[in-house]
Amino acid sequence: MILAVAVFAIVRMSTPDLVPVAPVNTGGVTIAGQLTMTQTGPAVSAHLTISADRAATLRQLVVRVRDEAGGAHDFPALANVAVSTTPRELVFNGELTTPGTYTYYLAYQLTGDWVSLPPWQTIAIR
């Protein structure tokens, strides 16, 4: 004997119950940059190509440089830097007079807090 079971589901034909979700913060701008360094004696130049997902003005833009002990050797910051979807090239100049390995990266301030952009790269000064 074969037993057949029929299952019926009753589907509620209305809108589903929604769970409240906090709104996503879409006010931030996305910054992308490519940073390289060149050295001539103690003089070091940081070459930056920077763009954003929309037009914005960065309050400050800086190449941060740290020695092996964590000491700061930041290049002079630029103020009120306009960025947009079109890549822009900038050059920062500084000096690293003590031989060693330095870590450098790009950082910017849009409104309040500083944002550091990876990757962290290194340069050896001889």
Contact partners, residue 5, CB within 8 Å, separation at least 6: none
Predicted TM-score of the model (pTM): 0.75
Please give the chain's pLDDT, 126 residues, in tens.
Answer: 444 433 333 334 444 343 343 343 435 899 999 999 999 988 999 999 999 999 999 999 999 999 999 999 999 999 999 999 999 999 999 999 999 999 999 999 998 899 999 889 999 998
Within a domain: 17: no
CA 73 to chain centre: 20
Contact partners, residue 85, CB within 8 Å, separation at least 6: 51, 52, 53, 54, 55
CA 96 to chain centre: 24
Within a domain: 57: yes
Number of domains the chain contains:
1
Within a domain: 19: no
Q: What is the CATH number of the domain that holds 35?
A: 2.60.40.1470
Q: Are strands 78-83 and 56-66 parallel, antiparallel or unpaired?
A: antiparallel
Segments of 11-113 assigned E as strands: 31-40, 43-52, 56-66, 78-83, 88-95, 100-109
Within a domain: 16: no
Within a domain: 8: no
Beta bridge partners of 58: 81
Within a domain: 12: no
Give the residue numbers spanning the domain of 74. 31-125
